Amino acid sequence: MNMHTRNILGVSAAVMAALVLPVAAVAQSASAKAAVDSAKAAGVVGEQADGFLGFVTGAADPAVRSAVAEINAGRAQLYREAAAKNGVTAEAAGASAFKQVVESRLRPGEYYKPAGGGWTRK
């Protein structure tokens, strides 16, 4: 196994472990998670290939925008930590999180945006 493969596997493991820990571990409040889950179900918010949440439509209210910002800030911190531990960029850690964790957790009807693509409904 080459160094690059080991780094990506390490990033995946670190990000996966952090994302399955209790909510506080990924710096998101229960209310932010509930708002985002509701917005995902409504098709307003989706998951992006960079590991962050994005807006499928521009019609998000301020509470949803705030919740997305809160969760994305927590994810950014998580990706920076995973990147530092594994010698990769935070961008690589975010992309790995999407591929290894988030993509598999998408529910039917939710939106995601693959790298280089547009919003797609699962």
Contact 105, 122 (CB under 8 A): no
CA 74 to chain centre: 10
Q: Given this model, what pLDDT does residue 22 score?
A: 40
Residue 119 has pLDDT above 60, yes or no: yes
Rounded Cα distance between 26 and 60, Å, is 23
Q: Given this model, what pLDDT does residue 24 score?
A: 40
Q: Given this model, what pLDDT does residue 58 score?
A: 80
The angle at the Cα of 78, spanning 40 to 2, to the nearest 5 degrees, equals: 110
Q: Provide mean pLDDT across the span 25-29.
A: 62
Calculate the average pLDDT of the chain: 84
